[in-house]
Structure 1
Amino acid sequence: MRDAALESLTISAVANIPGVDFASVTLRHADQSIETIAATDALAEQTDSIQYKLREGPCYAAVTTDRLVLVNDVATSPDFPRYGPSAAGLGVGSQVAIQLLHDGEQAGLNLYAYQTDVFDRSTIQLAELFATQAGAVLEYAVQVEQLSEALHTRTDIGISIGILMERYGIDRNQAFAFLVRSSQDRNIKIRVLAHQLIDGTFASLS
Structure 2
Amino acid sequence: MADERAWQCDKAGFGSRTNESAGPLSEQFVELTRLLLAASTPAQVLQQVVDAAYRVVPCADLVSVTLRAPDGTFHTPVATGEVASELDEVQYRAGTGPCVDAADTGSPGHVRSDDLTTERRWPEFAQATVKHGFTSILSTVLVPHPEPPRLSGALNIYGRRLGAFDATAQDTALLLATHGSLALASTQAVNRAELEANHLRRAFESRDVIGQAKGILMQRRGLSADEAFDLLRRTSQDLNVKLAEVAHTLATRHTELEMPD
Same fold at TM > 0.5: yes
1:17 maps onto 2:57 in alignment:
yes
Does the 8 A contact of 2:206 with 2:244 survive in 1? yes
Q: 1:99 aligns with which of 135, 141, 160?
A: 141
1:48 correspondence with 2:88: yes
- Counterpart Cα distance in 1 of 2:111 and 2:102: 7
Question: Which amino acid in the other structure matches residue 33 of structure 1?
Answer: T
Paired residue type of 1:72: D
Match for residue 83 of structure 1 among 121, 125, 140: 125
Q: CA deviation at 1:152?
A: 1.5
Deviation, 1:75, is 1.8
Tell me the TM-score normalised to structure 1 length.
0.77
Alignment of 1:116-131 (within 5 A): 116-131=162-177
Match of 2:191 in 1: 145
Letter in 1 for 2:72: Q
Q: Quote the residue 1:193 is aligned against.
A: none
Partner of 1:111: 157
1:63 to 2:103 alignment: yes
Considering only aligned residues, what root-mean-square deviation do their CA atoms show, in Å?
2.4
Q: 2:246 matched to which residue of 1?
A: 200
Q: Using structure 2 for the length normalisation, give the TM-score.
A: 0.62
- What's the CA shift for 1:81? 2.5
Alpha-carbon distance between aligned partners in 1 of 2:166 and 2:159, rounded to the nearest angstrom: 12
Find the counterpart in structure 2 of residue 36 from structure 1: 76
**What displacement does 1:141 show?**
3.3
Structure 2 unmatched runs, 5+: 1-40, 217-224, 230-241, 248-261
CA distance in 2, matches of 1:32, 1:162: 38
Give % identity. Answer: 24
Q: Which stretches in structure 1 are left out of the alignment for 5+ residues?
A: 170-177, 183-195, 202-206
Greater radius of gyration (CA) = 2
Post-superposition shift, 1:145? Answer: 2.7
Q: Which amino acid aligns with 1:136?
A: L
